[in-house]
Structure 1
Amino acid sequence: MSVFTPLERHELETFLRPYGLGRLIDFQGIEAGSENSNFFVSLEQGEFVLTLVERGPVDDLPFFIELLDVLHDAGLPVPYALRTQDDEALRSLAGKPALLQPRLSGRHVRTPHAHHCQEVGQLLARLHLATRDQCLERPSDRGLDWMLREGKSQAAKLAEADVPLLNAVLAEISELAPRLRALPRANLHADLFRDNVLFDGNHLTGVIDFYNACSGPMLYDLAITLNDWCSHEDGSLDPVRARTLLGAYAALRPFSAAEAELWPVMLRIACVRFWLSRLIAAESFAGQEVLIHDPDEFRQRLAQRQQIDLALPFAL
């Protein structure tokens, strides 16, 4: 179970009292977390999620709270931070920063079809449009500079056959970094995988886990999303799902010429980001009872992105 900090009932009851949401009925740890401790919390006035922030950019928590407020005010289905009766959003529990948020309805989709991808494309475009004109600045802690630095380190540990695959994209990043950074920007979810989106049937009901959110090129967020939602098991892209997602996105936010040109390399960069982070996590948490995603999944996807036949739906 990925609960790094277990809680006693009495300390949780003390923590929850200032919210004025009634008596604690039940709580349980959530197994799916890989970085923070998360709990489902049942109170008399509803269902909630409690997050203890274990690692990562703790100093940036006010950014995450503000971003979720902006997205909630824009009508997006996100888990904004609840306030206590004294208007506190960020608090402390068991020595860790703690946030209480509404529990969104729905379930994760394991095998998405085209309609799911249409909903995700629309949602991502709405997220970007809500922040494009007043972007909240926060550089990614796993951005291009991080990829170049960690890529060089990880290349020394890879199987010999995998090194050219990684080094080729690192060379693209080095060459194209100024153009990539100049692409149209907004706030990004930066981790919009299937396990961070909730559906009720075919209806998208929620987007969770914004702890990788940052400011940056919208195209990068789109590449991350499409690589997960539109890939076959062998890492190749499903053209029907991919075109559906892109079309739904572009109907709300048209692409620029620069985005169309850099789309193929951005798909590869998005693969490298998660290949590297998963390699690092597998090494850091080896032997621990922590959910570790398979790094090879993104090695396969990167191998399949060497030739991209999927163009952005771009019109002059």
Structure 2
Amino acid sequence: MSDPVPQALALWGLSGAAHDFVAGRENRVYRVRSGKGDFALRIKRPGYRTRPELESELQWLRAMHDAGLSVPLPERSLSGAFLEQVEGFDVDLIGWLDGRPLGHSGTRLDLNDAPGTFGRLGEQIARLHDACDAWRPAAGFTRCAWDLKGLLGETPIWGRFWENPTLTPDQRDILARFRQRAHQELTATLPDLDHGLIHADLVRENVLIDGDRLHLIDFDDGGFGFRLFDIATALLKNMAEPDYPMMKAALLDGYRTRRPLDTDRLDLFMALRAVTYVGWIIPRMQEDQAPARNRRFIADADRLCRAYLGA
């Protein structure tokens, strides 16, 4: 079945606009070119987010744009809504941001000045957290929670990572021990941890380089969580880079130019971020390249959890 793109575009007054498919997973995304500008039409995967969550994301994006962050700007349809429904699919239209991704998973970064870029990224993450703290969402705002329950409870946001069917008995034991120890540490330190709205998915593909500017895109998984989770996400996929120590230091320093940051528990959050992928991949095992990604996710999680446990 083809996506209802022409029907969706008509709701924004863009009938006949040129469009090209550019990506598909949680959203099926089309780049739309029109006399009014370029946009991203997003057709949502049914069941991934509730309608109130999707509407809240668009309110959040609008507020972050108004606060000066370089994020996609949601567009109202002809009816005045940010979110519409077409043939059973929730759809929205957001501004298109030019630029190239910071990088791609599984390949080496190709940056002229990696530490400088990560310094700017750290500053942008701090600006995002500042803007989120200053914003007061309207009643009814709802997003997922990357909290103790959402990370380590019985039904984590991205799945029961300790039940990944490809884990060896030893790996399963390490992840179970990590889950227990991490739960204890987080429970004991909750009052000390910076918490609020976070992007939660600042991987390479969701940071666009546009000259001297960095754009932050794809807030699909954003919600309430620990600020160190955003830091860990931005770092995790870059640990194999030759310049990683300098990149890490630059990102932390960049963040601290705008906002305090306590990194005493960063190793815990690196491991927490790694195990989320071990759960995320479970329902996606039949996708192309899933076996290789699964092996990589498990290897990363096993290594970081062992380091955290001293095992």
Is residue 281 of structure 1 aligned with residue 283 of structure 2? yes
Q: Please tell me whether the aligned partners of residues 32 and 41 of structure 2 are also in contact (alpha carbons under 8 angstroms).
A: yes
Q: Please tell me whether the aligned partners of residues 162 and 175 of structure 2 are also in contact (alpha carbons under 8 angstroms).
A: no
- Counterpart Cα distance in 2 of 1:225 and 1:240: 14
Per the TM alignment, residue 43 of structure 1 is displaced from its structure 2 partner at its CA by 1.4
SS in 2 for 1:173: helix
Q: For residue 131 of structure 2, what is the amino acid of its counterpart?
A: A
Is residue 129 of structure 1 aligned with residue 139 of structure 2? no
Per the TM alignment, residue 307 of structure 1 is displaced from its structure 2 partner at its CA by 3.9
Per the TM alignment, residue 297 of structure 1 is displaced from its structure 2 partner at its CA by 2.6
Q: Which residue of 2 aligns with 1:264?
A: 267
Q: Which residue of 1 aligns with 2:106?
A: none
- Counterpart Cα distance in 2 of 1:88 and 1:304: 46
Per the TM alignment, residue 250 of structure 1 is displaced from its structure 2 partner at its CA by 1.3
- Counterpart Cα distance in 1 of 2:292 and 2:75: 30
SS in 2 for 1:24: coil
- Counterpart Cα distance in 1 of 2:165 and 2:288: 27
Q: Which residue of 2 aligns with 1:63?
A: 56
Q: Please tell me whether the aligned partners of residues 84 and 90 of structure 2 are also in contact (alpha carbons under 8 angstroms).
A: yes
Correspondence for 1:249 among 255, 261, 266: 255
Per the TM alignment, residue 34 of structure 1 is displaced from its structure 2 partner at its CA by 1.9
Summarize the Cα distance change of 1:25–1:138 in structure 2 as closer, same or farther, 3 Å threshold.
Answer: closer
Q: Please tell me whether the aligned partners of residues 102 and 209 of structure 2 are also in contact (alpha carbons under 8 angstroms).
A: yes
SS in 1 for 2:91: strand
Correspondences of 1:155-174 after superposition (within 5 Å): 157-174=166-183
Is residue 47 of structure 1 aligned with residue 51 of structure 2? no
Task: Tell me the alpha carbon deviations over residues 153-212 of structure 1, each in whole angstroms, 9 at most, x when there is no partner.
Answer: 5156511232233123201232123245431222100001011111124x2342111110
- Counterpart Cα distance in 1 of 2:243 and 2:297: 12
Q: Which residue of 2 aligns with 1:94?
A: 87
Task: Tell me the alpha carbon deviations over residues 98-119 of structure 1, each in whole angstroms, 9 at most, x when there is no partner.
Answer: 0001110101122152122112
- Counterpart Cα distance in 1 of 2:57 and 2:145: 14
- Counterpart Cα distance in 2 of 1:116 and 1:296: 29
Q: Which residue of 2 aligns with 1:178?
A: 187
Instruction: List runs of 5+ in structure 2 lacking aligned partners.
Output: 104-108
* Count of matched residue positions in the alignment of Structure 1 and Structure 2: 288
- Counterpart Cα distance in 1 of 2:273 and 2:26: 20
Task: Tell me the alpha carbon deviations over residues 275-316 of structure 1, each in whole angstroms, 9 at most, x when there is no partner.
Answer: 2212x1333xx1x569888123333333443447xxxxxxxx
Per the TM alignment, residue 251 of structure 1 is displaced from its structure 2 partner at its CA by 1.3
Q: For residue 38 of structure 2, what is the amino acid of its counterpart?
A: E
Summarize the Cα distance change of 1:294–1:143 in structure 2 as closer, same or farther, 3 Å threshold.
Answer: farther
TM-score (norm 2): 0.82
Per the TM alignment, residue 271 of structure 1 is displaced from its structure 2 partner at its CA by 1.0
Q: Which residue of 2 aligns with 1:19?
A: 12
SS in 1 for 2:97: coil
TM-score (norm 1): 0.81
Q: Please tell me whether the aligned partners of residues 143 and 222 of structure 2 are also in contact (alpha carbons under 8 angstroms).
A: no
Is residue 231 of structure 1 aligned with residue 230 of structure 2? no
- Counterpart Cα distance in 2 of 1:292 and 1:70: 39
SS in 1 for 2:293: coil
Q: After alignment, is 84-93 or 49-58 more displaced? A: 84-93
Q: For residue 28 of structure 2, what is the amino acid of its counterpart?
A: S
Q: For residue 24 of structure 1, what is the amino acid of its counterpart?
A: G
Per the TM alignment, residue 27 of structure 1 is displaced from its structure 2 partner at its CA by 1.2
Is residue 108 of structure 1 aligned with residue 105 of structure 2? no
Is residue 29 of structure 1 aligned with residue 24 of structure 2? no
Instruction: List runs of 5+ in structure 1 lacking aligned partners.
Output: 309-316
Per the TM alignment, residue 13 of structure 1 is displaced from its structure 2 partner at its CA by 3.8
SS in 2 for 1:30: strand
- Counterpart Cα distance in 2 of 1:204 and 1:28: 25
Summarize the Cα distance change of 1:102–1:124 in structure 2 as closer, same or farther, 3 Å threshold.
Answer: same
Q: Please tell me whether the aligned partners of residues 127 and 258 of structure 2 are also in contact (alpha carbons under 8 angstroms).
A: yes
Summarize the Cα distance change of 1:18–1:93 in structure 2 as closer, same or farther, 3 Å threshold.
Answer: closer
Summarize the Cα distance change of 1:293–1:109 in structure 2 as closer, same or farther, 3 Å threshold.
Answer: farther
Per the TM alignment, residue 139 of structure 1 is displaced from its structure 2 partner at its CA by 5.5
Task: Tell me the alpha carbon deviations over residues 228-255 of structure 1, each in whole angstroms, 9 at most, x when there is no partner.
Answer: 2x3216xx98211111111101111112
Q: Please tell me whether the aligned partners of residues 8 and 91 of structure 2 are also in contact (alpha carbons under 8 angstroms).
A: no
Q: For residue 125 of structure 2, what is the amino acid of its counterpart?
A: L
